Amino acid sequence: MSNSDVIYETIILGSGPAGLTAAIYAARSRCCPLLIHGIQPGGQLTATTAVDNYPGFPEGIDGPELMDKMRLQAERFGAQFVEGVVTKVDFQERPFRLWVDEELYRCLSLIITTGASPMLLGLGNEESLYGRGVSVCATCDGFFYRDREVVVVGGGDTAMEEAVFLTRFAKKVTVVHRRDSLRATPILADRALTNKAINFKWDSAVTEIIADTSGVTGIRIKNLKTGQESELTCDGVFIAIGHKPNTALFADLLDRDDDGYILTQNGTETNIPGVFAAGDVQDHQFRQAITAAGTGCMAAIQAERFLDDLPYDPSLSCQKGICRLKS
C-alpha cells in the first residue's frame, strides 16, 4: 500500500508515553492509527532505569520495558508504526500533509507527542565531546565510568537520580549546581544529599569542559557568589539541566509559549482544529510519564470526537481508520 493513496484518520507523532497511550486509545476506538516514532523511539523513558511511580507496578518497572509493553498494547488493537522523523508538515488544508524525508503521509487528525530533548550548557566543545566524556544519560553511559571520576551538572530530579545511579560505577561523583539549594523533590534530594559517595559544588557554573584527544579530562568551574575559578579533574560530565520541547517543526504553524511549548486549550486542542498536542511537548509543569500518558488519552478521545463531527465527505471511502479517494 503506497502512502500517497491513503489518508489516515489519525496520525500520531512521537512514541513516548503520550504517543503510545494515544495509539492505544485511537486504535481501540476507530482502529489503525499510524504512529511515526520520531528521534528517540520510546521517548525519554528508554533512557531511564527503574520507574517507581507509574501506577500498576508496585515493584517498579524499567523505563524501556514499560515502553515495550505500551507498544505491544497499541499493536494488539491495530496501531501501525513507522520508523522515521517527520521533516516537514503542511497544515494549510485538510488532509494535513507530513513528510518523513521524501515520503508523504496524509491525515484528517494529528496528535503531536514529540516530547522534549535534553538542554545543553552551550559550551563550545560540548556536542563534539558526546561519547568521549560528555553525556546526557547516566543510564545509557554510566557503565563506561567504572572506577572513574564524574561530574553531574544540575540540581533537579534528573541530576539527583543520575548522581545516585552513577555511584554504582564511578569512584567519585560531584554534583555542580548553580544555586545553594536543590530544585529536586525532597525524596530524591535526600537520597543524593545523604549518599556519602556524592560531593556537591554549590553556587557554581561549569565554564569550560577540558579535554585532550582521548576525551574529557576535567572542567573549569566558576563560583557565582565569589567569582573564584577552579579546575576539577574528571573523566565524564553528565549534563542534567532540563529539557526543551521538540517543536521547531511547528514554529510558524502552531501557537507556542515563550519557551516553545505548544499552547493547548480544552485539554489537548491546538490553534488548528484537528491538530492535538499531548505530553511534554505541551507540558512544562508536570512532565511525568503518567501525566503524559493521561494527556495522550485525552488527545485520542478529542481526535475521535473531532473525526465524528467532520462533515460527510462523499469523495472519501474510510474503513478501519484509513480513507481512500473514491475513483
Binding of ligand NAP at residue 260 (CB under 6 A)?
Answer: no
User: Any idea which residue has 565554564 for its cell?
Assistant: 207
Cβ at position 255, least distance to ligand NAP in Å? 23
Query: Which distant-in-sequence residues (6+ apart) come within 8 Å of 172 by Cβ?
Result: 149, 150, 197, 199, 234
If the CB atoms of residues 78 and 242 are measured against ligand NAP, the closer one turns out to be 242
Binding of ligand NAP at residue 179 (CB under 6 A)?
Answer: yes
Burial of 280-307, coded b for 16+ CB within 10 Å and e otherwise, reads bbbbbeebbbebbbbbbbbbbbbbbebb
Among 14, 17, 133, 154, binds ligand NAP (CB under 6 A): 154
Task: Give 2-29 as a 3 state SS string.
Answer: CHHHEEEEEEEECCCHHHHHHHHHHHHH
Closest CB to ligand NAP: residue number: 156
> What distances in angstroms separate CA 141 from CA 117, 137, 184, 258, 296, one per listed residue?
17, 6, 22, 32, 30
Residues 17-56 that bind ligand NAP (CB under 6 A): 53
Cβ at position 113, least distance to ligand NAP in Å? 16
Contact 295, 283 (CB under 8 A): yes
Query: Could you give the CA distance from residue 280 to residue 19 in angstroms, rounded to a whole number?
Result: 11
137 given a catalytic annotation: yes
Binding of ligand NAP at residue 305 (CB under 6 A)?
Answer: no
If the CB atoms of residues 9 and 161 are measured against ligand NAP, the closer one turns out to be 161
If the CB atoms of residues 54 and 77 are measured against ligand NAP, the closer one turns out to be 54
Stretch of residues binding ligand NAP (CB under 6 A), selected from 6-14, 71-79, 153-161, 252-260: 153-161
140 given a catalytic annotation: yes
- Binding-site size, ligand NAP (CB under 6 A): 19
Binding of ligand NAP at residue 178 (CB under 6 A)?
Answer: yes
Name the pairing type of β-strands 134-135 and 236-239: parallel
Radius of gyration of the chain (CA): 22
If the CB atoms of residues 53 and 87 are measured against ligand NAP, the closer one turns out to be 53
| Residues at the contact surface with ligand NAP, assessed by CB under 6 A | 53, 121, 153-159, 161, 178-179, 183, 185, 240-243, 287
Task: Show which residues are catalytic.
Answer: 137, 140-141
